[in-house]
Structure 1
């Protein structure tokens, strides 16, 4: 009996030690909930996590990290690399430090066109728990703007005040003598008025234009024989309205409006306000395409005839 009692005491002591050992150990505190991340992108077209941008646009990323264990760091990798701690001036924190908002901008330039771009945003909390979100981007080249010259006034063949010969590269108008002497190579078209053609724009190699200027100046073959250079600009009429012309701002839109049919006439005639015609320069001038809108026709006699035009032309290559 005494032996049994001693054994019970022994096992009781062992159990007590085990309980005490169990109660006396340090337990690890449970981790807070993992962080989450949201990214809003503005300034560009976004579909899901894919960005479609145009050269010159800027993407604004607004990153919000919600971290119950407190926000620590935002890591950015990919096309931009940066580590932003919670002490950074760009970080806006709640008082508890559990929500952080960071705004990052990226401006797309010519070097980005055709490249594979990406950004991974990684929010980290004080327990080194992480949340990520990745965006990719494709970038197109910016549209090439057309050159626009508004309300250029050109005089007829008998107008002693206004020049009749037009340089579409420089938007300059020259009189007959200065064209003949120094500027014929830079003239793309001229204006003349005739009984049949009425208000007409023509190249310097046009026969009717030669007849009109020869009669007005009392010079035989005033253009065909005397002008040192006669650029063979070509023209064609269009069905464009004035409003459609006004809406054209880039080279692609101009090419679409010009159409697939080549300009092949040496002049366009019977012009009036609102009419739009197309031209293509001579090869020596670069063969650039252009569109012209007639703003106004004016004058009642040869001495005061004029036409006012707006010109849109492809830019010269650098």
Structure 2
């Protein structure tokens, strides 16, 4: 009865407050300890030669340690070294999809990990498979038992005593997939990348949230759903606004990136996976994004560090 006696605007504010407190995503967004969390770009390019960039890869840092790696594109392992991250600190490796420009350096990391003193399993997460690309567990098994069988001791089914790389397959088209680790919450949803299996990732830690679009046209609303109220969205700027055909079916044009960022109310936007067809078109890209999204926008460079 007391609530019903409140003026209408006070009722509305109370309901909004209660709704916010009941939402873990909203609560995390309101309590981001931004001084503890950083995003570092290991690879800001795509699958081309001539862009002077490593292919897609990212580190999420917590309290001065690299805890999550997203994708492992070609050239990223050298930048991992330059970042001074420690392989032994990683809590998870996430793949958005398994195109070569997102996964080619993974065996490099696996072999290099032998020399790091790592003594605990490193979970690997990635998309389901179809006739175009294998699921992440089959992909890793093919690499480490067939292409380079001397690395097979790292597979989860190996009886040898090395630390393992247990692989979890993600296929979440409607309900958000969720995994809680010691320091981190991981969330994922399938996204559209033409006929190819792909997922977007949300990494939550220290009350902060970073969403990685991976390569997607975002023709469904799944990326928007996953990115709602995120502190940062890392979106791939692989095609210009004028792109048509296959490129448009695989990737978001700048206008769609702006729509997603605005509809999801993300706080910051980082543009990566920058290809030759979008490099030197930053003003045009930003113009298209600004038609929808007014928040901060940064263009990724290899080894650039982005604050939340």
- Judge same fold: TM > 0.5, yes or no: no
Q: So what's the TM-score if we normalise by structure 1?
A: 0.29
| Bigger relative contact order, structure 1 or 2 (CA pairs below 8 A, ≥6 apart) | 2
Q: Which has the larger strand fraction?
A: 1
Task: State the structure with more CA Rg.
Answer: 1
More helix by share: 2
